[in-house]
Chains A and B, each alone.
Chain A
Amino acid sequence: MTEKEKKALTMERLLFRVQRYEPTRDDRPYLQEFVIPFSKGMTVLDGLNYIKENLDNTLTFRTSCRMGVCGSCGMLINGFPGLACHTPVEELGKDVIEIKSLPNYGIIKDLVPDLTPLFERHKAIKPYIVRSDSEEMEEPTAEYTQSPQELERYLQFSYCLKCGLCLAACPTSATDALFLGPQSLAQAYRYCADGRDEGQKERIDLVDSGHGVWLCHLAGACSEACPKGVDPALAIQLLKRTVLAQTLRLQKKKEASPIASPPSETKPKVPVPEFTVKRS
């Protein structure tokens, strides 16, 4: 960037330093600079969209919902993992914004991380209700009962988007490629804490290993990075407690919640009101 361009940078203009990488062409990732106009309330994703629409349509990044729900646009923004759609540029407090692909993942292209390790580990911990009554699971006749207190035990951990920011922020994942990572460990706890589940033993067999739950050093970077306020570090500590309780046989035998009994009485259906406007 020239001196003239530097002087032109005020909060009316932003300098986006964006990582570019085409694996079939480039030896290593490099940063490309774009100067874009600032508008009130714009997010990092708005800036990237502006670049793609007006400056360089070869720039590649994932995006979908634009409202922090889908978890597609996870990136390293000024050194911190975050969702591009959830990061207003004003909050960054700088007119130079450096955007890179998420660390601890491979790069497919430019800002698109290869999230395969995240999904593989998530799949490995059986992220679903495991029950012994397979007939009921196949052909459900009613709901499994669950009290509000039972729901409270895992509710916050069920808000996980699978955006992968926690794994990108985790220092243990950075040093040990085989570490299960905060996302899958938190989800392991989420299902172990679910009163309807009976798969705790299978999950604990997996997480109680050399690259499992005990490798977490409680840095807390995962909880800080999570855009939905989920606290994976807390879930991992609770999972450690669960594992230890099971190892020492201190845990009460968990009875999976039963099927809800059919209602003893049913209210009569409310009659459909008459049409107020005559139908022709």
Chain B
Amino acid sequence: MRTSYFRLLQLITGVAVFFLIAVHVSAIVLDDFAGIFGVDVEEPTSWGSVMDRAVSAGWASFYILLLAVAIYHALYGLRVVLMELPLPPVFARSLNYIMVGIGVAVFSYGTFIALNAYYS
């Protein structure tokens, strides 16, 4: 696969992270904001509010999406930075596998938590 596909995805996920984080921060900081999405909260960071969002299908999907794009953007960016360092050839060759491994592990764990909370 060409590098330009990965680079394009890096750009798209960068823009997506910007907007998704904006929604997330707004939901946490602005009490009234979550109400727009049907979540009635008094204190956005309280246990009850967090669980309200967790059991909402929309919010659960939103956080899984945010997790996916953030993982790709962060790990691909880190890979690009690391590839410019004078790494030992063995490490440079296995860097892709290491990054994919970390990404899959973090995504699986994060998704498991989100789904676990949703079905609780």
Q: Which A positions have Cβ atoms within 8 angstroms of B?
A: 172, 175-176, 208-210, 212, 214-215, 243-244, 247-248
Contacts and interface: CB of A to CB of B under 8 A. Distances in A.
A214 B7 CA distance: 8
Interface of B is mostly: helix
Contacts of B7: 214
B85 interface: yes
B84 A214 contact: no
Contact of A175 (B2, B4, B85): B85
B1 to A, nearest CB: 10
Given A175-B84, A247-B4, 14 more contacts: A172-B84, A175-B86, A176-B84, A208-B3, A209-B2, A212-B3, A214-B3, A214-B4, A214-B7, A215-B80, A243-B4, A244-B4, A244-B8, A247-B2
Interface of B: 2-5, 7-8, 80, 83-86
Contacts, number: 27
B90 to A, nearest CB: 16
A208 B2 contact: yes
Interface centre among B7, B8, B80 (most CB of A within 10 A): B7
A175 B82 CA distance: 11
A244 B3 CA distance: 10
List the 4 closest A-B pairs by CB distance, nearest first: A247-B4, A208-B2, A175-B84, A208-B4
A19 B83 CA distance: 32
